Amino acid sequence: MEQTKSSRSSRSKNLQGPESLSNSAFLFNTRDVSALKARFCSTTSADDVIPDKTVDIPQEYVLPDIDRAVLNRADLDISRLSTNDYVRAFIHILHKIVKHAKLDIGTGDSLTDSLVADLIYNVLAFSQWPLKVELHPTMKLFIGHVILPAKAEFAISNKYYYLLFVEDKYLTNVRPDFDYGEPQILAEMLACGEENLQRACKTYTMNMFVVRVISTYVTFYRATIHKEYWDELGNGCPRRQSLTIFRWPGNSSNPFLGFDLADPNGRRTVLESLCKIRQYILDSLFFTIPLKV
């Protein structure tokens, strides 16, 4: 039976204390993660996060001889690294980040924005029809009668949202005492999922991906958010249902242990993984949201 937002909101008598949550996605912390019965889980298996798809990757961006040491050279002649101007532009951004980013004081500029935008628009063509890139979409997360605002940086969709890009230009914001900012990932993921429910006019089970870019380091996240979890959020903080968000690479929540775009092996892994996620989103166009799940 289809379940609209009005029917979810009408069950407010079963609220389970969502008033105790932070007032926005930006302020989410470990207490909020616990209240929503969610957890982040490291995995050593790419299969837990990255879809099993056969893809071709843009090999010209791998550049096996260009590593962090090369990118850190002041005399690096980028014009000689490739005959492809798009590749030169990408490496130029990496060169500037490696030269200027200081992990202890933060970069303080828009270099990470430029890197993520270049990946999305030029390297991997996430903006190419039938996909759509939304820049800083404003969303709302409904938990019982409480409405929490959220704003993602980049969201990739066809009809529904599937992928978020999250980045932080200021590396000092990404500290252990803030759980490296992962609670905000949970809130933005749920807010995007809530938007999907609004568009579908019912609750259903969905897969959501997040790609996190901190300086040149990339971490991938994936969660399967079940219909039953959404149904409980309609009442308030869940009591029975829970949510696991898988993190890859599987080491810790420290983003500086992710795949490094300044390293050729890291670049290859990131490019291949993003191509597989892109293919997953494209393939989803051929399926409709089930009426019953």
Q: According to the 3-state scheme, what is the secondary structure of 202-262?
A: CCCCEEEEEEEEECCEEEEEEEEECHHHHHHHCCCCCCCCCEEEEEECCCCCCHHHCEECC
Domain presence at residue 94? no
Give yes or no for a contact between 3 and 203, defined as CB atoms under 8 angstroms apart: yes
Q: Return the beta strands (E) in the chain as ranges.
A: 38-42, 132-135, 138-143, 146-151, 154-157, 161-167, 206-214, 217-225, 243-248, 259-260
Whether residue 185 is contained in a domain is answered as yes
Confidence (pTM): 0.88
Task: Kindly state the tokens that stand for 85.
Answer: 């101007």
Q: How far apart are the first and last CA of the chain?
A: 10
Query: Is it true that the peptide bond before 249 is cis, omega within 30 degrees of 0?
Result: yes
**What total number of domains does the chain contain?**
1
Whether 33 is covered by a domain: the verdict is yes
Determine contact, residues 236/189, Cβ cutoff 8 Å: no
In a domain? residue 88: no
Residue 20 forms part of a structural domain:
yes
Give me the residues of the chain with pLDDT under 50, please.
Answer: 1-2, 5-15, 103-108, 169-172, 290-293
- Per-residue model confidence (pLDDT) at position 6: 46
Residue 218, Cα to own-chain centre: how many angstroms? 10
The whole-number pLDDT of residue 7 equals: 45
85 within domain boundaries: no
Distance of CA 186 to the CA centre of its chain: 9
Q: Is residue 21 part of a domain?
A: yes
With respect to residue 101, please indicate whether it lies within any of the assigned structural domains.
Answer: no
What DSSP letter does each residue of 80-101 carry, written as one string?
Answer: GT-S-HHHHHHHHHHHHHHHH-
CA distances from 151 to 35, 51, 189, 208, 215 (A): 21, 26, 10, 16, 20
Cα radius of gyration rounded to whole Å, the chain: 20
Bridge partners for 41 per DSSP: 246
Q: Which domain holds residue 153?
A: 5-59+126-284
3-class state of residue 151 by DSSP = strand
Q: How high is the pLDDT of residue 102? A: 60
Residue 190 burial by Cβ neighbours in a 10 Å radius (0-12, 13-18, 19+): buried
Supply the pLDDT for residue 50: 97
Nearest to 141 by CA among 184, 205, 200: 184
Report how far residue 225's alpha carbon sits from residue 209's, in angstroms, rounded to the nearest whole number.
Answer: 11
Strand partners, 245: 40, 223
pLDDT of residue 104: 46
